[in-house]
Amino acid sequence: MAKMYQYKYVASKKKRWVAMILCVMFGFLGLHYFYVRRYWRGALNLFLLLLLFIASSVFGLFYIQITFGPTQGIFVHWREAVAVICSAILGITWILDLVHISKRQFRDNEKLTLK
């Protein structure tokens, strides 16, 4: 006779609804990653947001200079490309995190699913 094994489901001590609220309200800051103690991923979100802010600020100043200066035509610079890439990464990861949290696939630093 074969033995029947029972696997015990172990969940994280972190709450799923708290992670969802943090992701909805402050997902661009990565606070939901800091909540589940995935610090490197949260730091990556903060870095991308900082890079987006710097690139957008520089692009905004450059745009004002072109608007009020001599007209040379507007073409894509590295500043706009950085701003678009950072915002696309932040937006896509925010949506994916919302989906993972709602489908109970979001995990904490110990690879356990949230309660």
Q: pLDDT value at position 98?
A: 95
Q: CA 56 → CA 13, 48, 62, 84, 106, distances in Å?
A: 39, 12, 10, 9, 31
**pLDDT digit string (tens) for the chain, length 115 residues:** 566 655 566 788 899 999 999 999 999 899 999 999 999 999 999 999 998 888 777 776 666 555 555 555 555 567 777 778 888 899 999 999 999 999 999 999 988 888 8
pLDDT of 82 reads 78
- Per-residue pLDDT, 61: 62
pLDDT value at position 81? 76
CA distance 47 to 60: 20
Threshold 0.85, pTM exceeds: no
pLDDT of 26 reads 93
